Structure 1
Amino acid sequence: MTQDRNPKDTAVRGVRRVRAATPQGNMWRAIRGLGAFTYRDVAMHANTSSVPVSEGAARDYCRMLANAGYLRVERKAQPKGRLAVYRLVRDTGPRPPREKRVRAVWDDNRGEYAYIAGGVA
């Protein structure tokens, strides 16, 4: 009697599962390794031939992490070309924080969410 096995159930101990490289993963690894940095530093360290990371993507990722409390602004940007300098203050591990879009229903009459997909309203 043979059973169909799920490949995930037959993992060999000591063998790590390799995840595909992503721009967010590359940027997060770069941020974790840098001290104080600008978004250009992140783009330069995270960009590879197989996973390109633009300066715009690095800028947006740094802003998102700063807004979420992962990065502290060490020096504010200046209009004449001086870039903001960031420092990682909340290192939660090797997996990159990601922005998620959540499907929800907002009720303007009641001023509250009537439904949040996968959650409780």
Structure 2
Amino acid sequence: MSAHAPSGAHEQEIWQFIQSRQVFTHADVDAFCAAGDWKRTNYLRSLARLNLVKLYQRKGNIRYYTAQDPASLSGDAALIDTSAMDAQWRSDKLGSKISAFHDTALPVQAWTPQTPEEKKLWSFVRQQLRFTRDLVLAQKIAPDNKTTLFLRSLENAGLLRSAGYDNGKPYYTAFSTLEIMNRAKDKRLSTEGRIWTAMRAANKFTVEDMLMTFAGFEGEFSEKGIRSYCSTLEKAGYLKDSRRGRTSAQSVRYHLVRDTGPLPPTIKRLPVVVDPNEGRVVYVQGEEVTWATS
């Protein structure tokens, strides 16, 4: 399979995408790759004829395919969790699309919000790493026609950039490549960011394991802080207690079951857990049910 050379940019994107998955559907390729229906369908058919893509499993009307050796896979295709890979793919494509935009875009005119409504709209979109037009309209900050004109003026000024697609919907960002890189860098180098990185590397760990990892940096990584972060992420559905029997004499052994990407879930004062990889709040203190358990 490694010898296959895609013939164009769209084919290369599809090939990279399906190789990154254990299984995939045609709908997955449609949602994450830019090729049109005709090009996508013909390329996947050509891969099937070359025996580079095979049918793995049928579930009702859904067909699951794989670009890997089917013998190396096992289990129900519908239960394979691709959420972490999806988040990483969105992040990577966001960076590449914005970089491509900056490489080819002509100089744009200066633009600043003028009216109170434009200033409120600008403040809102600058608080979102990525957003849809419908999300901005739903805030009712200004009448729909004025909001549409505001977004169009941002686009004309080169300040409204493509941030990929999710479930067929186009997403946008009002951040430059450098701003996105700096935001991501600051998050990864924060205390939470470094603990999150250690969690992703270990997969299964105890608080004592984390303390050993950060030995010598007790000023930044206290036992209380690490224990609190782990406890809140467990409530949010990122971590599970993997102890058998859960006896009180044993240290809690956490298992990272929701790895959504390199940026750390951030705990707010409420506390609220925000996942920057997926751009949404995933847990609020006091809620009985979260997205991770519902």
TM-score by length of 2: 0.28
Establish whether residue 38 from structure 1 lines up as the match of residue 227 from structure 2.
no
1 CA distance for matches of 2:222 and 2:247? 19
Partner residue of 2:227?
Answer: 59
Match of residue 186 from structure 2: 19
2:242 to 67, 74, 86: 74
Letter in 1 for 2:210: V
Which amino acid is 1:27 matched to?
Answer: I
| Aligned residue runs from structure 1 range 83-94, under 5 A | 83-94=251-262
Secondary structure in structure 2 of the residue aligned to 1:32: helix
CA distance in 1, matches of 2:199, 2:268: 20
Deviations 1:48-104 (A, max 9, x none): 6497201111111110000000001101351x4x210011000111111012236xx
User: Following the alignment from structure 1 to structure 2, what is the Cα–Cα distance between the partners of residues 91 and 53?
Assistant: 21
Secondary structure in structure 2 of the residue aligned to 1:87: strand
Instruction: Report which of the two structures shows the higher radius of gyration computed on alpha carbons.
Output: 2
Q: Secondary structure at the match of 1:19?
A: helix
> Hey, what's the Cα distance between the residues in 1 that align with 2:194 and 2:251?
21
The counterpart of 2:269, out of the listed 84, 88, 101, is 101
Structure 2 unaligned regions, length at least 5: 1-109, 111-174, 271-294
Structure 1: give runs of 5+ residues left out of the alignment: 103-121
Distance 2:190 2:264 in 1: 9
CA 35–77 in structure 1, closer or farther in 2 if over 3 Å, else same: farther
Counterpart of 2:186, as a letter, is R
Query: Higher relative contact order by CA 8 Å / sep ≥ 6: 1 or 2?
Result: 1
Task: Quote the residue 2:87 is aligned against.
Answer: none
Conservation of the 8 A alpha-carbon contact between 1:22 and 1:51? no
Which amino acid is 1:60 matched to? S
Answer yes or no: is the 8 Å Cα contact 1:77–1:85 preserved in 2.
Answer: no
- TM-score between the two structures when normalised by the length of structure 1: 0.61
Secondary structure at the residue paired with 2:186? Answer: coil
Cα distance change, pair 84–50 in 1 and its aligned pair in 2 (3 A): closer
Question: How many residues get paired?
Answer: 96
Residues 51 and 26 of structure 1: CA distance in aligned 2, closer, same or farther (over 3 Å): farther
What is the percentage of aligned positions where both structures have the same residue?
36
Q: How far is the alpha carbon of 1:9 from its aligned partner? A: 5.5
